């Protein structure tokens, strides 16, 4: 009964790891695209790199991005989750497929002779199931899944907070710089969603910005200096919302992986005890 549960549990883990890998890849892409798109335009700080689309802030004469290290963390935090998910999906998928193909490959024959001289040949099939790797293996996977879950929860929390921080700051900037008053200002401050606020940002912020020398950059070739550009228009709000959604769902997936591996550890205790 435990072994059959192991086989079904590994099917679930194959699906969960595959989903986790896809969600991690979506988070990486959808967070890296707006970061790369806005980095040069938002990086207006002289002494530090503040080109991150998250945690943007309104200054007295411009809208600056957040610390670039935040965008590095948001994008790169999902990389180990993606790599581990792909490896484990292949591992569990291999075990499920191999033992499913070999489930009915063992046959045996028995003969029975009746008193009247009739010989009956009976064929028996023995089912082969996946062997339990043991509680030591599952315990390591539980610890790994726990670490990845904590990392992704922190990642999702920073991403959500940074998204709404930039939205709130640009909402204030939009109301102040456009000199809108009355009901229109109330609509901007109270009714427009963050997706709409980022739409304003896509169209109102400059596409190019004059070159500005920075303290932390060593320019040995002044003739190569050029204006900063952000390229063609993108849907910044949709991209960030997709990254937020995939990051949150990925947290749920990895918590489920953690629980499933924990159940496998519990079911493997008897196997470990029989080995002693």
The reply to whether 153 falls in a domain is yes
Q: What local confidence, expressed as pLDDT, does residue 132 receive?
A: 52
Which secondary-structure segment (H or E) carries 57? strand 52-58
The reply to whether 68 falls in a domain is yes
Query: Which tokens sit at 253?
Result: 């997936």
- With 90 as the cut, is the pLDDT of residue 243 above it? yes
Mean pLDDT of 216-233: 65
Which secondary-structure segment (H or E) carries 96? helix 78-101
For residue 200, what are the CA distances in angstroms to 88, 245, 263?
Answer: 42, 22, 49
Q: What local confidence, expressed as pLDDT, does residue 46 receive?
A: 76
For residue range 155-171, list pLDDT tens digits in order: 999 999 999 999 999 98
Average predicted confidence (pLDDT) for the chain: 79
For residue range 45-90, list pLDDT tens digits in order: 877 888 899 999 988 778 888 999 999 999 999 999 999 999 999 9
Averaging pLDDT over each range in 92-101, 104-113, 253-262, which range is the top one? 253-262
The reply to whether 58 falls in a domain is yes
The reply to whether 44 falls in a domain is yes
- With 60 as the cut, is the pLDDT of residue 216 above it? no
**Selection from 33, 37, 30 nearest residue 229 by Cα:** 37
Domains in the chain: how many in total?
1
Domain that holds residue 92: 2-209+229-275
DSSP class of residue 220 equals S
The reply to whether 233 falls in a domain is yes
The reply to whether 219 falls in a domain is no
Which secondary-structure segment (H or E) carries 39? helix 2-42
For residue range 4-45, list pLDDT tens digits in order: 466 677 888 899 999 999 999 999 999 999 999 998 888 888
Q: What local confidence, expressed as pLDDT, does residue 3 receive?
A: 44
DSSP class of residue 102 equals T
Beta bridge partners of 188: none
The reply to whether 221 falls in a domain is no
By mean pLDDT, which of 11-20, 123-132, 133-142, 150-159 is the weakest? 123-132
C-alpha–C-alpha distance, residues 111 and 119, integer Å: 7
Classified as helix, coil or strand, 207 is coil
The reply to whether 215 falls in a domain is no
Hunting for tokens 């009976």 — which residue is that?
122
Query: How far is Cα of residue 12 from the mean position of the Cα atoms in its chain?
Result: 19
């Amino acid at each position: 009964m435990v072994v059959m549960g192991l086989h079904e549990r590994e099917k679930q883990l194959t699906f969960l790891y595959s989903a986790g890998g896809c969600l991690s890849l979506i988070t990486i892409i959808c967070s890296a695209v707006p970061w790369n798109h806005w980095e040069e335009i938002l990086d207006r700080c002289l002494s530090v790199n503040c080109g991150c689309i998250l945690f943007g802030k309104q200054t007295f004469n411009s809208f600056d991005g957040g610390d670039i290290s935040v965008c590095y963390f948001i994008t790169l935090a999902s990389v180990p989750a993606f790599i581990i998910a792909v490896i484990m999906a292949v591992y569990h998928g291999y075990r499920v497929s191999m033992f499913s193909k070999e489930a009915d490959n063992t046959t045996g024959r028995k003969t029975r002779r009746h008193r009247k001289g009739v010989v009956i040949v009976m064929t028996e099939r023995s089912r082969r199931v996946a062997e339990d790797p043991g509680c030591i293996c599952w315990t390591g996977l539980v610890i790994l899944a726990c670490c990845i879950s904590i990392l992704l929860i922190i990642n999702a929390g920073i991403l959500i907070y940074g998204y709404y921080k930039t939205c709130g700051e640009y909402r204030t900037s939009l109301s102040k710089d456009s000199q809108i008053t009355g009901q229109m200002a109330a609509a901007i401050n109270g009714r427009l969603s963050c997706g709409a606020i980022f739409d304003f940002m896509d169209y109102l912020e400059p596409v190019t910005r004059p070159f500005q020398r920075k303290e932390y950059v060593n320019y040995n070739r002044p003739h190569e200096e050029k204006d900063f550009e952000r390229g063609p228009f993108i849907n910044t709000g949709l991209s960030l919302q997709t990254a937020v959604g995939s990051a949150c769902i990925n947290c749920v997936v990895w918590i489920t992986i953690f629980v499933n591996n924990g159940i496998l550890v519990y079911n493997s205790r008897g196997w470990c005890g029989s080995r002693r």
